[in-house]
Chains A and B, each alone.
Chain A
Amino acid sequence: MKNWLEAYSIIDFISVGLLLTAVTLNAFKSIESYVKAYTINSWLLASLITAVAVLMNEPHLYVAALLTAATKGVLIPLILRKIIRQMRITHIIQPAISNALSLAVSSLLVAVVYASLKTGITVTGFSRNVLQIAIAVILISLFIMITRKKALVMVLGLLFMENGLFLAGFSLTFGMPTIIELGVLFDVLMGVIILGIFAVQIRRTFASADLDKLTVLKG
């Protein structure tokens, strides 16, 4: 198993998969696809942790992988789908810029991250590629949050960013103690619930979850 993982460079494949799910966000038009991409991203993250656990013989990482899969892979997507049903919105995302431009910008972001982290930083973890990919994921999700108007997309961007941060932390430290990971996952779960309720309330009060309309609140 261990040799097999090393021989086929499974970690590289999974981490590029994580990057791809983040990049594809730029091309999606409906919020359901965002939730799907997030689910795939979380499962990939869990499988990356499992692969590292096998490679490094770190049994406590299995717990982390299980927790990630259970909360981010199952629970949060379920909650998000419920919120989408409750909001009964048209699920079309109106990006502020065109899909093609947005794809181009995020691929440039990836290139910039790769180029700037190529020298000057020494990573002693299992793979220095994973750190670069993690930072690229963080920047892409930030970009998604900037350029999309729907409130729920903000939540998804934040979740993607959290996945990226988790990946970055994981690639540097081989996973934090389980109790901290539990705390972080619980935080994320609560965050999703609160933000979800908040988005539903925005929709009820203003009959729209378009954040551009918040500017009318200015005095």
Chain B
Amino acid sequence: MEYFQFLIIIIFSPLVNGVIKKLKANMQGRVGAGVFQPYYDLLRLFKKGMVVSRVTSWIFSAAPYVVFTSAAAAALLVPVLTTQSGFTMMGDVIALIAVFALGRFFMALAGLDAGTAFGGEGSSREMTVAILVEPMMMLALFTAAITAGSTNIARIVDAQHALSSPSHLLAFAALMVAITAETGRVPVDNPDTHLELTMIHEGMILEYSGRCLALMEWAHYIKQMVLFTLAIDIFLPMGIAQASGAGALALAGGIYAAKILGLCMVMAVVESTRAKVRFFQLPSILGGAFVLAFLSLVTHIMMGK
């Protein structure tokens, strides 16, 4: 049972995106599509045929599989319901960030491969954001790792208490900014638009259609849910099961669902109340979050907790 907790992320990740979209629509006074709409979209895309440009190389057709596999591998690494699982021994924060980087690298290559202007633009922007986000995410996670004395996510979860020290609060704030940037949400990227001036993620996958597009989108949903789960695991771990009995797992599942719903609400509120910033303003927002992460690490070292 506990070996299959990663399936929860893979199966429910489109639902999480649907819930965020629904909450956003309700906040903006619209009815919005149902929460299962992402599933219907994925199903429809899987049934459709593909159009592949003649000028593309093998990278273009390989990228969706690499991206999806890396997202699924990342889902294997994070503990969802319980920390007692065979897979958690390889769940390392640095490995997790590296697996994400692999997917990102191939996605950016695929964006460049078709040779369109939008793809190149999207790839270039994605890489610029990545330079700013990755070190910030690492610093924020290291703050938690130092407390636990291990970079293993399950060990960090076991050692964590819920935001009991100021350094962890700072690190949590920095990680939330990192998550909005990584999942392409509003202050950094707008997930709902295909306007060429603003798109980052959409720019890279613009050339894809059919099955490959479905894989790319699904990988994106999985990545989003893995990051949410990571934030919950590390900074709000109360309620995660330390054992692997059926009752404990069911309780942990309920608490996990409530926490994910809470994060979805936060994302929906941020997306509805904030405007997307200009791309050249991003370094000052992400730089500010980097300073938060840095301060969290320094404060942690100073205060010893």
A residues with CB within 8 A of B: 8-9, 12-13, 15-17, 19-20, 23-24, 27, 99-100, 103-104, 106-107, 110-111, 114, 118, 129, 132
Which B residues are in CB contact (< 8 Å) with A129?
302-303
What's the least CB distance linking A99 to chain B, in Å? 5
- Interfacial residues, chain B to chain A (CB-CB below 8 A): 164-167, 169-170, 283-284, 287-288, 291, 294-295, 298-299, 301-303, 305
Residues of A within 8 A of B305 (CB): 9, 12
| Contact across chains for B299 and A104 when beta carbons are under 8 A apart | no
Q: How far is the CB of B52 from chain A (nearest CB, A)?
A: 41
* Residue among A12, A99, A104 having the largest count of chain B Cβ atoms under 10 Å: A12
Q: CB distance A103 to B287 under 8 Å?
A: yes
Given the complex of chains A and B, what is the CA–CA distance between A18 and B218 in angstroms? 43
Q: How far is the CA of A91 from the CA of B164 in the complex (A)?
A: 39
| Contact assessment for A110 and B166 in the assembled complex, using a CB-CB cutoff below 8 Å | no
**Residue pair B169, A13 in contact (C-beta under 8 Å):** yes
Contact B170 A114 (CB under 8 A): no
A19 touches B287 (CB 8 A): no
Q: Is the Cβ of A103 less than 8 Å from the Cβ of B295?
A: no
- Min distance, Cβ B286 to any Cβ of chain A, angstroms: 9
Set of chain B residues within 8 Å of A19, measured between Cβ atoms: 295, 299
CB of A27 within 8 A of CB of B295, answer no
Q: Is the CB of A114 within 8 A of B302?
A: yes
Chain B residues, CB < 8 A from A100: 283-284, 287
User: Which among B166, B287, B302 is the interface contact of A13 at CB below 8 angstroms?
Assistant: B166
17 further interface pairs, Cβ-Cβ under 8 Å (given A9-B305, A16-B167): A12-B166, A12-B305, A13-B166, A13-B169, A15-B166, A16-B299, A17-B166, A20-B170, A99-B284, A100-B283, A100-B287, A103-B287, A107-B291, A107-B295, A107-B298, A110-B298, A114-B301
Interface centre among B164, B287, B294, B301 (most CB of A within 10 A): B287
